Amino acid sequence: MVVGLLGGSFDPAHGGHVHITREALRRFGLDRVWWLVSPGNPLKTRGPAPLDRRLDHARQIMQHPRVTVTDIETRLGTRYTAQTIARLQRFYPGVRFVWLMGADNLAQFHLWEDWRSIIGAVPIGVLARPGDRIAARTSRAATIYRDARVPALGAQRLGRMPAPAWAFVNVPMHGASSSAIRAGGGWS
Ligand SMILES: Nc1ncnc2c1ncn2[C@@H]1O[C@H](COP(=O)(O)OP(=O)(O)OP(=O)(O)O)[C@@H](O)[C@H]1O
Ligand SMILES: O=C(O)c1ccc[n+]([C@@H]2O[C@H](COP(=O)([O-])O)[C@@H](O)[C@H]2O)c1
């Protein structure tokens, strides 16, 4: 079983999340995707909306038989991705996990707590996002781990590869963002 993990604030969830989830299932050969609705991104100073509200909304937006929306990080008591992945791997030894992210997150990835342990623990699937493709490809993490990059055509096997391995797929892009929705007053 290969499970993609899409961590996010989902404040609120939107069509961009749904779009990359569907693309990730297809392009990375995943059996399932779990949305990890975060208790709060450690790098963001502004606290998100209450967890129950974000979860309910995410479950309305993302309805797919192979996708589960979960608050497992809150239940595990983890907020840092490196800790979450270590715990999930311990709890689910038979599952192969792939960490999923939009291109904007790859550009900042080297700022995450213990980021090298994340890339050493699970393959990473990166999906194009408007405005962030170049920043992602030239980011610190992409540069340091250039030899671990899997060509997009081989990305179907990403979940079966040993870490470190990462792939960037140039999927059709979707412009939605939570910050634009909040700024437009669509989530107050
Ligand atoms: N439109 C999109 N295209 C590609 N990736 C996306 C898109 N929207 C969100 N993502 C990715 O989904 C994950 C969770 O994103 P998040 O919940 O922070 O939404 P966001 O729209 O980026 O929020 P904000 O605007 O508040 O930063 C991140 O890996 C992010 O890169
Ligand atoms: O572990 C970290 O240091 C870390 C720093 C920034 C972001 N993350 C995770 O990245 C995911 C995307 O965050 P966000 O707020 O951009 O949706 C979410 O699962 C966060 O917990 C994790």
Question: What does the domain layout of the chain look like in residue ranges?
Answer: 2-64+75-86+97-183
**Surface-to-core class of residue 126, CB atoms within 10 Å of its CB (0-12 exposed, 13-18 middle, 19+ buried):** buried
Nearest CA to ligand 2 atom 1: 80
Domain 2-64+75-86+97-183 has CATH 3.40.50.11540: no
Instruction: Report residue 177: phi and psi, to 5°.
Output: -150, 150
Q: Full-prediction pTM beyond 0.95?
A: yes
What is the predicted ipTM? 0.99
Span 60-86, pLDDT tens digits: 999 999 999 999 999 999 989 999 999
User: Residue 133 above 80 pLDDT?
Assistant: no
Q: Which of 10, 11, 14, 17 to mutate to test the pocket of ligand 1 (most atoms within 8 A of CB)?
A: 17
Span 28-71, pLDDT tens digits: 999 999 999 999 888 877 789 999 999 999 999 999 999 999 99
